[in-house]
Amino acid sequence: MDMPTEMQHQAMGYDRAATMFSPDGHLLQVEYAEKIIRLGSASIGIVCKDGVLIVSDKRIRDKLIAPESTHKIMEVDSHIIAASAGMVADARVLIDQAQILAQQNRVTYDSPIEPISIIRMISDRKQQFTQYGGARPYGVALLIAGVYKGRGSLFTSDVTGNFFSYRANAIGENDEKIKEILRSELKDGISIDEGLRFCLKIFKEILGKNFEIERFEAAYIKNDSRGIVRLQGEDLKKFAK
């Protein structure tokens, strides 16, 4: 009986280093890292007419954990937020570096950094860890949403170091199902409030009986860039009706 191709490559050691291509042109360690992202909890990002929005499933079920310690949406700067899927510890390291870059830009140029500069730095870092030996790839995908000069933008960076700009996107568990709904039902020019209702509607449809408003958090930044607004628990209930 013939051995499946993936098992052959494992047996021959093509998955022992992130820098070794298999005969059919795959970096197996990178593909393994992509699998852990789809095991992570989901986040949805949308560029709205009045700002940018991220809604995340924290998926914290342990009642012993303090709720205020489980933020899924992280602040990069007062005008940029980020959400991750995959290994949260990997995301924390990358966001720490992004926060430093944002503050260096303020000190050097006395102005907020462009969101695309943040996603480019993160993606460059990820790409390096697919090219050089001695370290594994970052097992995390990131949504970066920000406002710059009154205009919102949303970026996604994958394991390989690729990044793209989106009107709306999803990462994590059930990301393909969520993206299909976004493609078919997302309307142009929706507001942040409408986006919140739409995201929670998607999660309710995907999760079914497992949907609980307490497991979600949201954050948005308006185009006037007056800072980040966070919503969770009771604050989100009115948008889930």
Domains and CATH numbers, the chain: 5-237 (3.60.20.10)
Query: For residue 239, what are the β-bridge partners?
Result: none
For the segment 120-129, the average pLDDT, to the nearest whole number, is 95
The pLDDT value given to residue 12: 61
Contacts of 105 (CB under 8 A, 6+ apart): 111, 112, 113, 117
Residue 230 has pLDDT above 90, yes or no: yes
pTM of the predicted model as reported, rounded to 2 decimal places: 0.90
Least confident span in 25-29, 119-123, 230-234? 25-29
Residues 6+ apart with CB under 8 A from 178: 42, 44, 170, 202, 206
Burial of 234 (0-12, 13-18, 19+ CB in 10 A): exposed
Reported as a pLDDT band with limits 50, 70 and 90, residue 50 is very high
What is the average per-residue pLDDT within 126-151?
91
The DSSP letter of residue 215 is: G
Q: What is the pLDDT of residue 1?
A: 40
CB neighbour list of residue 78: distance below 8 Å, 6 or more residues apart: 112, 225, 227, 228
Joined tokens for residue 86: 């995959």
DSSP secondary structure string, 3-54? PPHHHHHHHTTTTS-TTPBPTTS-BHHHHHHHHHHTTSPPEEEEEETTEEEE
How would residue 5 be classed by pLDDT, with cut points 50, 70 and 90?
Answer: low
Distance CA 15, CA 25 (A): 12
% of the chain at pLDDT higher than 90: 70
Contact 52, 220 (CB under 8 A): yes
Nearest to 138 by CA among 42, 36, 33, 39: 33
Measured distance CA(176)–CA(150) in Å, rounded: 30
Q: Per-residue pLDDT tens for 148-170? A: 999 999 999 999 999 999 999 99
pLDDT at 51 (0 to 100): 96
Going by pLDDT thresholds of 50, 70 and 90, the confidence category of residue 240 is confident
**Which of the residue ranges 3-12, 50-59, 109-118 would you say has the lowest mean pLDDT?**
3-12
Mean of per-residue pLDDT scores for the chain: 90
Tens-digit pLDDT profile for residues 61-111: 777 877 667 788 999 999 999 999 999 999 999 999 999 999 999 999 999
